[in-house]
Structure formats: structure tokens, C-alpha cells
Structure 1
Amino acid sequence: MWKTIIFLTAFTIWGCASVQKELNRGNYSNAVNLALSKLKGKKKSEKDIIGLRDAYQYYIAEQLRKVEQLKLQSNKDSQILSIYEAADNINSSIKPLLPLQDQNGFVTDIPLIDVKAEVAKYKSRVADQLYFNAIGNLEKGGKMEARKAYDQFQQMINLTGATSHLQSLRDEAKKKGTTYILALGEIDSKISVSKAVKERFMSLSSSTLSKNWQRVDITADKRTPYDYELIFVLEDFVLSPEKESSREYIDKKEIEESAGTSSRDNEKIKRKIEVSAQVVELYQFKEAQVKGKVILYDVVKKKNIYSEPVTAAQVFENYASTFKGDKRALSDVSLKRIGGKPIAFPSNDKILGDAVATLKKNMEQQALKAYSNL
């Protein structure tokens, strides 16, 4: 008998080295999963069967020890449930494979420890505690407490399934935990812009500005008690005049070229020469600079709690170049610009509108930071 046990132990260590390595390290869950992966195929070996049997025995013993230790402590039901659920999942993976038999007829069974009753028991206990805590947080009335309540109701739904009662409580927590913000656009009375530019600036997006716990409306809803007003202000802009300038310059470069072939040894002869090209360049430039600020106004306290300046610019640049002479003399910069043509300058409305659109994006990013913790 002892010889048989010694043989089987040696066989396990020799033939199931990877599983044994995980067991030696105390990684019993990894050992079980590794052993299971070896037994998923059609061909099952005796060493893999023994590997799973040993790994499961170590694993389940460790998990039950952990549970007994946690039972001695308070508020550990959630951790105990996680352990039982993991053990139940392991059982579900092993059960379809039983009884285990290799291709040579070796058969063994693994006595699984049924934990389904414990899973149900602790799932009920955890759900009861979540419900008690969630109701307590909801009754406190604060936004942060309501958000905790929402998470707890959602955990309950994930744990026990959705009911109309739980969904109603979760929705109530969502409503109480949400910060309501009304977004407004303003243009300083000192400046005048076209209708098209005004529309580009004033067209705000609720979906872009809203976050999980911050709902931003762009149209006031009389039924909504707003906590804050988010104000985008276009304060000023500067349009540069259309600038067009031309210049001429010469690119020079020393290059090697063939000068024939040596009659003595038939080798190619090279000589250095200087080549040049005259470049005529036309440069076009126009710019719009805009500035504004983002304001967050506390409706209850009736004061600004945030104000930050924001700027943006839109630049139009164009190069049109031609050359005379040897193309090989052109610099990399000149080569990139050769072939361009003069084009029409953008209208004031177009360049200003593009600058305003960029400004608004910058403002949106600034705003998201301003109320991220509200």
C-alpha cells in the first residue's frame, strides 16, 4: 500500500510538473485551472487526472479555512460569498468531467464539496446588508450619499436580479445624486459678430457636457431644480488683415556628377560642381484670435465658484513657389513649397467661425474639469 502511495506521489511530481509547481507555491486556484485545461481534450492521461484531484483537494481545503477565519470577524459576509461563489464555479467546471478516466482505463472520482446552500445563504445576507445601507444613505438626503445608495442598489440587482421595487429605488437614488447644470452662452456686448458666428458659438451640446453624475441642459426645464449655471462667454476677437508678400532667393548646392570614363582603367570619373536655382515665393497669411471665459455659478449660494479664461486661434497660411534653374539645387523646404498656387483668403466669417469653434471645444474641456467633483 505504502509503495503504491509513494509511486503515485512520485508520478504526480514527475508527470505533472506544472501543476505541482503551482501547488508548491500555494497557488491552488491556478493549479486547479491548469489541471482542468489539460483535461479538456479527448485524450486524458493518468498524471493529469491525479493532478486535478490533488489540486482540488488543496484548493477546497484552503478556501474552507479562509471562510472559518472570516466567520470569526465582523462584516465579512461579502468576502465569504465571493469565496463560496468561486468554489461553486470550480465545482461546475469539474462536475461534467466526472468520473475521470484516461485512455488506459484508469478511473477516479473527485468528491466535490457542495457549497450551493452556502452561496444562497450568504447571497441573501449580503443583499440584506446592501439594502439596509442603501436605504440609510438615501434617507440622508445628500448627493454623495445618494450616489453610494445607487451603487448599492445596483449591486443588489446584480446579485439577486432586477425587481420593479429595486429599480425604482435605484432610479430615485440616481435622481437625488445627480447635479443639475444649465449651460448658457453669452457674447460680450462690446463686440459684434455675424449671425452665423453667433450660432456656432451658442450651439452647445448636452451630451458633450454631461457626465455620469452631472446632467447639463442647454434649454431650461422648469421642473428641474438647477444647482449651477455654466456660462460660456465670448469676450473679444482680433482679425488680422490679409497679408500677402513675395520674395526671391537663390538656393545653391555642391553636387557630384559624372565627367566621363577613364580610358586607362575604365573607371567613372566624377567632379564636383555648384548648381543653383532662383526661387520666387508668394506667402499668404490671415489669423483670427478669440478669447473668452468659463464661469460656473452656484444657484443656491448666488455666486461664481469658478471663472477661467480660455483662448483659441485660427491661422490661414499658404505658400506658392516657382523656380528657374537646376532643380537639384533646391533645399528640402523649397521642394515642399514648389508647385503651390495662390488661393483665395477665407472670409472673416469663415476664419472667425473656425476660431470660435476651437474656442468652444477648449471651453468644454475646461468646464468638464470645473464640475467633475460636484
Structure 2
Amino acid sequence: MNSKLFRTFLIGLTVFVLGACSSGRKSLQSGDYDKAVYAAINRLKSNPSKGKALETLKKGYDYALDRHLDRISDIKLTDDAFKWEKIINEYASINSLANAIASCPACLEIIPDAPKYVAEMSDAKYFAAEVRYNKGVKFLATKNRNSAKEAYYNFEKAEQLYPDYKDAQSMMDSAYWAAVIRVRVETVEVNSRIYKLSNEYFQNKINEFLKNYERKSFVRFYTPEEAMMVRVKFDQVLQLNFDDFIVGQTYIKERIEDIKKENVKIGETRDSVKRPVYGTVTGKLTTFDKTITSTGLLDFRIVDLATNKVINQEKMPGTYIWTDYWGAYRGDESALTNEDKTLLARRESRMPAPQDLFIGFTGPIYDQLRQRITTFYNRYN
């Protein structure tokens, strides 16, 4: 390494070290004691003998510990229903500081016995879970859907805070079923054997989406088969029917173009010294454009079974267009361009099967359907 690069490296290293060290002191001066401690720990890991970092660590930790303990004492005196969750955060901060110090040998020489409040943290979690559980019980006793949702979230929080707390998991399940909207989904009917499998594919995609949606929602969708196997009162029915669909409307457009090219070599002279003969060549290029269009219109309807009224209805159109092109030519091939030759190399393609065309136009309908279902049922979550 040359002297100039070495000096640059030393300057950069010095700036980095000074910045790291000063950042700890600055945080200490501004009252951000936790940040000051972590900055000092990082500094001491790379330079265990750094005196200013040692000083920052000692002062910062004492201040940080006192502040967290004071906060815990103050929070305990409040009427905040969820005060134990705030106390958990304070104990977590203290324990994180102790763990960070334990990972730094130089820090342990200054603070060899940083306390960890493991038992206190466990007690706080228990009390916090108890508060959440009791809140859930009160919400669930109200016996309305919105309260059941609140009950579910409180039981869920209790389980997270203190796993296996009483019967929080079972109560969470009870709250879910008290809050859930039950929707019977009617099968999309297509009166054609040709499109039976394609329609089943479309229906299976819908069912798969609905199952994925309900995993993270308070809505449960039942297929006709599932609805027959359960004894529950359904809240809504989701109806899907094709108002109309047309598969395979075929249009062929034929375009004839006169082609002319001048100054083309068309032969040679018969003299002893042969010379090229140039002239004009012509031909007729026919281009065929084939379009197969398939369209459908799905009626999407949600009926409230309590009132037997339609509460949402939309028409969802879908279109799929399959295209093909090829060409034919009569005349002198010298008149053709490379693009013309590429066209003539093509042959008429075999058209897709009707079943594939059916799947094609249901694609955009499925996309619309997912969006509408998500938008409508998000209001229940």
C-alpha cells in the first residue's frame, strides 16, 4: 500500500472510531441512555481499553437501569388496563442491556453483575395475559359479532403473552366462531358437456382463493358439499352464474397486395461476354389474419339470508382473443422482402380446443372476482 493510500485509510479509520465513540457520549448527554450503552459496548468490542467508552458504559448503564426501574414503579401506580404490557417492555429493555454486556468481556470488568429480571418478566407476562383473558371473557359475553372479534384478539394476545394460559386457545376458537360470517357458495353451472372440465377448473380456482382468504379473516366459505355436511345457520349465499358466453367466434381477414420491385437482375445477355439484365418483377402477396374471440359475462351476487335481499351484485365480463396469421404468394420471388419471406414461411396454426378458449375468457373474470370478493368481505374483518 503506498503512503498516500495508507494516510487516507488512517484518516478514515480515525473518523470512524471518533464517530463511534462520540456517538455514545452524545446519546448519553441527550438522555438516550440505552443507545449510549449499546454504542459503548460496540466500541469496547473493537478496542477494550478505550477509556471514554468505559466511562460512557458505566454512567449510561446506571442511568438506563434507574430510568427503567423508575418507569416500572410509575406504571404500576397507574390505572392503565394494559400497564403490564408496558412493564414487560421495560423489563425486556433491562434484560437486553444485560445480555449485551455479557457478550463483551471488557464490559463485564466494569459491570460484572448486570441484573436480569427474568422472574419479574414472567410474572408481568402472566398478569398481562390475565388482563387480556378477562377482557376477552367480557367481550364474548356481550354476544354480538364485533365484540366477539375483540374477544378473539384479546384471547390471542393472552396466548402470545403467556402460552397455555388457562383455556385461552379454546376461548379464542369460541370467539372466532361467534364472530365468523358463514357463506354458502353455489357452484357455477354450465349446461354443456364440452365445457364441464373447464368449468370445474374455473370453480376450483375460485374455491382455492376462498379457502386462502378465509384463513386470515372472519369469513368462512362453504362449498355445496361442505354445506350439506354441517348443521349451521348460514348468513349469506354467494351466487355465480354465467348470463351468457360465446366460445370460438372466428373471423378471417384476407388482404391482397400487389408487389413490385425494380432494378432486379432477371437474366444475362447472350453475348460472348455475358452481362446482367435488370428489369422489374411483380407478384401478388395474400395475407390472412385469423381471430378467434371468446367472451362471457358472469353474474356475481351476494344474498343476505336473514332478509333474503341481494346486498351486492355485479356483472363481470371476460374476453379472450386468439390470433394467427400466414401468407400465400404468386409471382416472382425476387420481389419479396425478408419480412415477406418470414410471413410465407408460416402455416395456418391449429386453433385451440374449445375447452382452452373457455378457460381463456374466464381468466379476466376470475381476476375481477377475487378483487370484488376481497373488497366486499374485508368489511367483516
Query: Structure 1 residues 195 and 100 mapped into 2: Cα distance closer, same or farther (>3 Å)?
Result: closer
Tell me the residue number matched to 1:129. Answer: 131
When residues 52 and 207 of structure 1 are mapped into structure 2, their CA distance, relative to the original with a 3 A threshold, is farther
1:37 aligns with 2:38: no
Is 1:66 paired with 2:71? yes
Amino acid at match of 1:308: E
Tell me the CA shift for residue 19 of structure 1.
1.4
Change (3 A) 1:98 1:123: farther
List alignment gaps of at least 5 residues for structure 2: 1-16, 262-281
Identity of aligned residues (%): 18
Once the two structures are superposed, residues 142-200 of structure 1 have per-residue CA deviations (whole angstroms, 9 ceiling, x without a partner) of 222222222222222222222572222122222222222111124488x9974345434
Does the C-alpha gap of structure 1 residues 339 and 68 become closer, same or farther in structure 2, counting only changes over 3 Å? farther
For these two proteins, the number of residue pairs brought into alignment is: 332
User: Corresponding residue for 2:350?
Assistant: 344
User: Which structure has greater helix proportion?
Assistant: 2
Query: Structure 1 counterpart of 2:111, which letter?
Result: D
Normalised by the length of structure 2, the TM-score is: 0.73
Matched, 1:51 2:56: yes
Is 1:290–2:296 an aligned residue pair?
Answer: yes
Give the Å deviation of 1:286.
0.8
Q: What's the C-alpha RMSD, in Å, of the aligned pairs?
A: 3.6
1:230-261: CA deviation from partner (whole Å, max 9, x where unpaired): 111111123463222232447999xxxxxxxx
* 1:195 equivalent in structure 2: 196
Partner of 2:167: 165
Q: How does 1:1-374 map to 2 (within 5 A)?
A: 16-40=21-45, 44-47=48-51, 48-75=53-80, 76-97=83-104, 100=107, 107-109=109-111, 112-162=114-164, 165-187=167-189, 194-203=195-204, 205-210=206-211, 211=214, 212=216, 213-218=218-223, 219=225, 220=227, 221-239=229-247, 241-249=249-257, 280-321=286-327, 324-325=333-334, 339-374=345-380
Q: Deviations over 1:200-251 (max 9, x none)?
A: 4544644411322212111213323222111111111234632222324479
TM-score by length of 1: 0.74
Q: CA deviation at 1:289?
A: 1.0
CA distance in 1, matches of 2:308, 2:359: 33
User: How far did 1:339 drift?
Assistant: 4.4
> What letter corresponds to residue 294 of structure 1 in structure 2?
F
Render the CA deviation track for 1:30-59: whole Å, top value 9, x for unaligned. 222233333446x52333333322332232
Letter in 1 for 2:88: L
CA spacing shift, 1:152–1:251, aligned 2, 3 Å = farther
Rounded Cα–Cα distance in structure 1 between residues aligned with 2:222 and 2:304: 15
Secondary structure of 2:378's match? Answer: coil
Aligned residue for 1:74, secondary structure, equals: coil
The answer to whether the Cα contact below 8 Å between 1:250 and 1:277 also exists between their aligned partners in 2 is yes
Counterpart amino acid of residue 75 in structure 2: L
Gaps in structure 1 of 5+ consecutive residues: 1-11, 102-106, 254-275
Tell me the secondary structure at the aligned position of residue 66 of structure 2. helix
Contact kept, 8 Å, 1:228 with 1:298, in 2: the verdict is yes
Shift of 1:328: 7.0
For residues 283 and 86 of structure 2, what CA distance do their matches in structure 1 show?
79
Q: Could you say if the C-alpha distance between residues 243 and 119 of structure 1 is closer, same or farther in structure 2, counting changes exceeding 3 Å?
A: same
Instruction: Call closer, same or farther: CA 1:200–1:111 in 2, change over 3 Å.
Output: closer
Report the Cα offset of residue 83 of structure 1: 1.4
Structure-2 change in CA distance of 1:338 and 1:151 (3 Å): farther
Residues 248 and 354, structure 2, Cα contact 8 Å, conserved in 1: no
CA 1:277/1:17 → structure 2, altered by over 3 Å: closer, same or farther? Answer: farther
Contact kept? 1:250, 1:278, Cα under 8 Å: yes
Q: Name the aligned partner's letter for residue 370 of structure 2.
A: E
Distance across 2 between alignment mates of 1:251 and 1:17: 82
Specify whether residues 164 and 110 from structure 1 end up closer, same or farther in structure 2 by C-alpha distance, changes over 3 A only: closer
Cα offsets for 1:1-39 (capped at 9, x unmatched): xxxxxxxxxxx9898212123334443332222333334
Deviation of the 1:305 alpha carbon = 1.0
